[in-house]
Structure 1
Amino acid sequence: MSQPVLPQPLPQIIQGGMGVAISDWRLARAVATAGQLGIVSGTGIDSLLTRRLQDGDPDGSTRRALSHFPNPELAQRALDTYFLEGGRAEGQPYKRVPLPSVGRLNPAWELAIVGGFVETWLAKEGHSGQVGMNLLTKLQMHTIPPLLGAMLAGVDFVIMGAGIPRDIPAVLDNFAIGQAATIKLDVKGEPTDHSTRLTLDPAEYGLDLDSLGLSSLKRPNFLPIITSHVLAQTLARKASGSVEGFVIEAPTAGGHNAPPRGKMQLDDLGQPIYSERDLADLEQMRDLGLPFWLAGGSGSPEGLQHALSEGAAGIQVGTLFAYCTDSGMDDGLRREALTQIRAGAGLRTDPLASPTGFPFKVVQLSHTLANAQLYAERTRICDIGYLREAYWEEVKDGKEGKIGLRCASEPIETYVRKGGSLEATVGRKCLCNGLMADAGFPQIQKGGEIELPLLTSGDDVVKLAHWQDRFSAGEVIRYLLGQWQPASDGVVAGQATGESDPAQVPSMAGHL
């Protein structure tokens, strides 16, 4: 197995891994070719692959990458099942990837392996820059397959947050030597004498090293996303394999946020209140001797210089890259979002939006599911299922119990029938369908109902009120390096630097 080797010099800028194709291969490739670390999202990669194929793959990129997949049989099966020459007919819904269960992981896993390869291969095509993949730890049933696909394409980094990715280093180690990898599946209510694990053996997909004619795969560098120096210390010492560094995320970062430590307290707008307890101690991070990058509210030249002065290798930036023209965000949504942001649309950290229970940042756009009326009018359905929770279902008459899957955003009666509480369904939004719509792949449900977007951003979104309509990933990088300025110069005090309400975001002096 080749040991992970951090590039030298280390990248000062890591492009954020925004989920479901916002951080697509085009964005990651643009950042990597500019000398920084480009990141593709592995979240929802099976559905993303199939929806691109059903839209006809107009530029041929997906099919070009599929022609390089190491097991042509799997690539051809994806094409035969999902590719539509010329794309879907008007009003035609996407054919869905069948929801996996603990006892039936394919075809979702097979498609996720292929999708992880395609996204990474395209991001790395034609240059020698560094490319990583981002995944959410909490999506345990959807984590291992994209990692294998990405490693088959030579991914350089793996970055994971939204949980404690203790099992992942060993997964990377095992895949690098062609062995099966396994992670623990958290099952709510599972008896203490049970332990459910999910295992992926590359040989079962014709991807063992002997079949590939290889002695090993490159083992990527692993950077967990953490909010606490205590968690960093634990992972550095007790993870299942080597950890090469950390991304330290503040509560101002976009997407899923870690809940505040201690009892949840909400402000007058119903947002979680964070304090100094929720920031990592940077002195203790420096003592670990591993590189780290600061994320959340760091997307500015001043943020980069502050990070470097604190001993960080640099910063991770999401929001500015998400709204650039190289990202996978639907262009119409991007333009409408910028218009509404300039008109005063705000950002809300919603403690209820995500079925996972993690606070989730949502841009308050009138034509999206952030609109309470549109949310209420939407027909509940769980047809993608990435955020489903595994639970233990007791079976009577002396039979063995079994594992079920449920989501607080699915139809209420279904969730309650599976043992979920009615209270847990209040305010929960279907992030899976909303984020697919953000990237321009909205499902058409029965009766012609088109899934609406649900746009997430970090607190830096307020800066964009003063940016020009169109800017590239390269311009974001030059801005962060102090080499370029947005065309618009109207500055509102406290906003141009991405500052938030000081009552909600504590001082970051000596912390993050």
Structure 2
Amino acid sequence: MTHPAPLTPPSLPLTLLRPDSLLPVPGPAPALPRIIQGGMGVAVSDWRLARAVSMTGELGVVSGTGIDTVLLRRLQDGDPDGHVRAALSHFPDAALAARTVQRFFLPAGRAPGQPYARVPLPTAERHRDAWELSVLGAFTEVFLARQGHANPVGLNLLTKLQLHTLPCLFGAMLAGVDTVIMGAGIPRDIPRVLDALAAGQPATLNLDVRGGDPVPLTLDPAAYGGAGVALTRPKFYPVVASHVLAGVLARKASGGVEGFVVEGPTAGGHNAPPRGPLTLDSSGQPVYGERDGADLQALRALGLPFWLAGSHGTPDALARALAAGAAGIQVGTLFAFAAESGLCADLKAEVQARAHTGTLEVFTDPLASPTGFPFKVVNLPGTLSQAGAYAARQRVCDIGYLREAYRTPQGRVGWRCPSEPVAAYAAKGGQAADTTGRKCLCNALMADAGYPQVQRGGHTEPPLLTSGDRLNDLRDLPTAYHAADVIRVLRG
């Protein structure tokens, strides 16, 4: 599986990003964007894509999901362009950055068939390695995305990844992130966390524990390169599926909420489950109804800007959103297959070719994600969307982002995932029936970005591609296009 080609618009090639020029260009803050680029998957919304979008004056967004492992694997692949090491040379704690490079960087990359080194799975009590890499990874991604322009850059996180949220936020803030966007949960406490980190104070976030009280996690900026560093508090846009949740967050969040991304069930990745009892259609997909839509009049009444997401990747959709009082739209799918995205080149080419024949299918799988949220899956040969590939994969949980914390009978905090080996999950008190159809999104999404782990026996982890329902709309674009082309199309 090959990495994406390092393409950008000819006006500003990547060769200009020399280590001695990796500094943001100062300038006035622009108005609200009309287009927000979705924060997709693991390293699909990477720094190259976010930078390309932000350079147009819209909001480019990097994904912070799995950013510790992404940093680790980029270093082990030899960091061929030198951008990771150049960015780390600007990290405030030079000793921490140097120690990490010395520990993980392989100048010649990995040998064929060599597995990536793993970081021990973090827990509530032992997470120093994962947190250091998360701080450095988020810093690197935002830092690189900000080069060569003065426009804002955003960060996207999954609320359910509570164990990694604090270091990702802090690392991104050290690099000057402008906006934080969070979905897949109710991020009520994030405003308070952003306030504390901006003030240079320790920030605490509760880790949910099934069967017991939450466990507080605390990050002290002084312990991760932030001693005496003045930070700007980023804007916070939670992702919501309804006006009801938006109203709750506007009134009861722990601090300032500056806007919302309102996402419908046709958007890629995780979807909010339908309201009320779960009903499946004849193909096994969740059925959504009028109750699952957002009341735009109620949203306007909140007095905060909002962007509509989910099948809004057309000029007409942007015009309708603006006419309805939205600040604009969030678009993912069209950007995911642009030249600058981190999606690996062979997957990108396969999807683009099939889109031009109109033969792509997207299935809203109610079982695939260990989180229990519906998850959009592209039906594509060679991926875990195929029953044969799913059955052939040996279950393993060696990254662990979507594990659930639970209280053991002995009163300790344990960790389990319905995508891990069935016997192990059952031994931890999980129901074996809950493992049916569950897929290891952690490993599969790493493979999507060209960083598949080589497991024991030489088995390489297969990908699992996610996308919005309107994937076949790619046929309206050339088979190879840039992020700037998407912006031009959307602006009309």
For residues 400 and 451 of structure 2, the distance between their equivalents in structure 1, rounded to whole angstroms, comes to 16
**Cα distance between partner residues in 1 of 2:209 and 2:361:** 36
Point out the more displaced range, 341-350 or 6-15: 6-15
Match of 2:413 in 1: 403
Match of 2:290 among 273, 276, 285: 276
Residues in 2 aligned to 1:115 and 1:185: alpha-carbon distance in whole angstroms: 22
Equivalent residue letter for 1:203: A
Aligned match of 1:463? 473
1:143 is paired with a residue of what secondary structure?
helix
Kindly indicate whether residue 201 of structure 2 is the aligned counterpart of residue 179 of structure 1. yes
Alignment of 1:196-211 (within 5 A): 196-209=215-228
Q: Is structure 2 residue 406 aligned with structure 1 residue 391?
A: yes
Question: Would the aligned equivalents of 2:258 and 2:305 in 1 still touch at CA under 8 Å?
Answer: yes
Give the number of aligned pairs: 464
Residue 433 (structure 1) aligns with: 443
The answer on 1:265 being equivalent to 2:279 is: yes
Does the CA contact (< 8 Å) of 2:355 and 2:473 recur in 1?
A: no
- Per the TM alignment, residue 338 of structure 1 is displaced from its structure 2 partner at its CA by 2.1
Does 1:348 find its partner at 2:363? yes
Q: Is the 8 A contact 1:340 1:365 kept in 2?
A: no
| Displacement after TM superposition at 1:466 (Å) | 4.0
What is the match of residue 214 of structure 2? Answer: 195
1:90 to 107, 112, 132: 112
- For 2:204 and 2:290, locate their aligned partners in 1 and report how far apart those are by CA, in whole Å: 36
User: By how many angstroms is 1:184 displaced?
Assistant: 1.2
Report the alpha carbon displacement of residue 103 of structure 1 after superposing the two structures with TM: 1.1
Partners of 2:226 and 2:242 in 1: how far apart?
37
The answer on whether the counterparts of 1:162 and 1:257 sit within 8 Å (CA) in structure 2 is: yes
AA aligned to 1:186 is: D
- What is the letter of the counterpart of residue 221 of structure 2? P
**CA–CA separation in structure 2 for the residues paired with 1:103 and 1:441:** 28
For the residue of structure 2 that corresponds to 1:84, the secondary structure is coil
Q: Which runs of 5+ in 1 are unaligned?
A: 1-5, 396-400, 483-512
Q: Normalising by structure 1, report the TM-score.
A: 0.89
1:127 Cα shift? Answer: 1.1
Match of 1:368 in 2: 383
C-alpha distance in 2 between matches for 1:259 and 1:436 = 25
Q: Work out the CA distance in 1 between the residues paired with 2:225 and 2:146.
A: 23
Correspondence for 1:505: none
Matched, 1:249 2:249: no
Q: Is the 8 A contact 2:29 2:151 kept in 1?
A: no
* Partner of residue 503, structure 1: none
Give the whole-Å Cα distance in 2 for the aligned partners of 1:168 and 1:37.
Answer: 20
Q: CA deviation at 1:7?
A: 4.8
Contact 1:46–1:97 (CA under 8 A) maintained in structure 2: no
State the 1:464 CA deviation.
1.5
The question of whether the paired residues in 1 share the 8 Å contact of 2:30 and 2:151 is answered with: no
List aligned pairs for 1:206-245, cutoff 5 A.
Answer: 206-209=225-228, 214=229, 216-245=230-259
How much has 1:347 moved relative to structure 2?
0.4
Structure 2 SS opposite 1:36: coil
1: CA distance, partners of 2:427 / 2:29: 51
* 2:173 paired residue among 133, 151, 154: 151
Question: Which residue of structure 2 lines up, in the alignment, with residue 502 of structure 1?
Answer: none
The Cα offsets for residues 197-236 of structure 1, whole Å up to 9 and x where unpaired, read as 1111112224222xxxx4x310000000001111111111
Alignment partner of 1:308 is 2:328: no
Partner of 1:495: none
- Match of 1:258, SS state, is coil
1:54 paired with 2:69, answer: no
After the TM superposition, which residues 111-150 of structure 1 pair with which residues of structure 2 at under 5 Å, given as runs? 111-150=133-172
Return the alpha-carbon distance in structure 2 between the equivalents of residues 56 and 366 of structure 1.
30
Q: Deviations over 1:141-191 (max 9, x none)?
A: 11110100000000000000000000100110000010011111111111x
Question: Share of identical aligned residues, percent?
Answer: 62
Q: C-alpha displacement at 1:440, in angstroms? A: 0.5
Paired with 1:103 and 1:430, the residues of 2 have a C-alpha distance of 24
Q: Is the 8 A contact 1:264 1:273 kept in 2?
A: yes
| Mapped contact 1:392–1:404 kept (Cα < 8 A) | yes
Change (3 A) 1:268 1:77: same
Aligned to 1:330: 344
In the alignment, the residues of structure 2 paired with residue 460 and residue 142 of structure 1 have an alpha-carbon distance, to the nearest angstrom, of 31
CA contact (8 A) 1:320 1:460 kept: no
Query: How far is the alpha carbon of 1:459 from its aligned partner?
Result: 1.1
User: Displacement, 1:463?
Assistant: 0.7
AA matched with 1:409: S
Secondary structure of 2:128 counterpart:
coil
Structure 2 residue runs of 5 or longer lacking an equivalent are 1-27
Cα distance in structure 1, aligned partners of 2:275 and 2:206 = 25
Query: TM-score, normalized by length of structure 2?
Result: 0.93
1:501 match: none
- Secondary structure at the aligned position of 1:459 is classed as coil
What CA RMSD, in Å, does the superposition of the two structures yield over aligned residues?
Answer: 1.1
Match of 2:6 in 1: none
Distance of 1:465 and 1:29 partners within structure 2: 25
Amino acid at match of 2:226: L
Q: Does 1:359 align with 2:374?
A: yes
Which residue pairs with 1:420 in the alignment?
Answer: 430
Name the SS for the 2:470 alignment partner: helix
Q: For residue 11 of structure 1, what is the aligned residue in structure 2?
A: 33
Which residue identity does 1:140 align to in structure 2? Answer: Q
Conserved 8 A contact 1:16-1:39: yes
Paired letter, 1:385: G
Give the conservation status (yes or no) of the 8 Å contact 2:139–2:173. Answer: yes
Determine the C-alpha separation between the residues in 2 that align with 1:110 and 1:384: 16
Task: Provide Cα deviations, 1:343-362, integer angstroms capped at 9, x if missing partner.
Answer: 51300000000000000000
